[in-house]
Structures are given as C-alpha cells and as structure tokens.
Amino acid sequence: MKKLIYLSVLAVLAGSISSCKQENRPQIVNGIVYDATMNNITLITGKGDTINISTMDANPDKVSGVLLEDSVEVTCIKEKIEGGEILKATELVIIKK
C-alpha cells in the first residue's frame, strides 16, 4: 500500500514538473533586410538592433526570397543549439520593396 502511495505522489510530481515546461512561442520581428543568404537573413530593426534569423529549415511557401533593403515582418521562434540560442524563421511577409 505504501508503494502505491509513493508511486502516486511521484506521478503527480512528474506531471506537475512537465506541465511547467515553457513552450517556444513565436515572436514577430520587423525590420529592413541588411543582408540575405540562402540560409540567413540579417535585419536592422526600428531600434537599430541587428538580428540574424536562420531560414535553413523554413517552408519556402511561407518564407519567400527577399532583396536587400526590403521591409519585412518575420515570425520566428527561438531554438537552443549547442548551448546558444538562434532565431528560426517560420513565416516572412514583405511589407515594402
């Protein structure tokens, strides 16, 4: 009986810990294309920050090609890779060419 109680408490604790896990929420970045390659887009935001966004695994239907100095709105997610974080594009909209 004691084992059943311990297992129940352990299951509840494990469930509560896994439910607290943060989900990777998309964020929207607006900016002007400073540089673009096949796998990355570098934007300059309205605040003057320079942001590099990976397009390597993006769906080509949702992340189209851009030209330098295009104004864009990029929906992206943060992904942890090798101890660091990168932004990965999930959708790109050209606002103004």
Q: What is the pLDDT along the chain (97 residues), one digit of tens a residue?
A: 666 665 565 565 555 554 444 457 899 999 999 999 989 999 999 999 999 999 988 888 888 889 999 999 999 999 888 888 899 999 999 998 7
According to DSSP, the β-strands at 84-96 and 50-54 are: parallel
Do the beta carbons of residue 33 and residue 68 sit within 8 Å?
Answer: yes
3-state DSSP assignment of residue 83: coil
pTM of the full structure: 0.70
Query: What values do phi and psi take at 19, rounded to 5?
Result: -75, -20
Virtual CA dihedral for 60, 65, 71, 72, nearest 10 degrees?
10
Is residue 50 left, alpha or beta, with left meaning phi > 0 and alpha meaning psi from -120 to 50?
A: beta
Instruction: From 95, 85, 97, select the one nearest 24 (Cα to Cα).
Output: 85
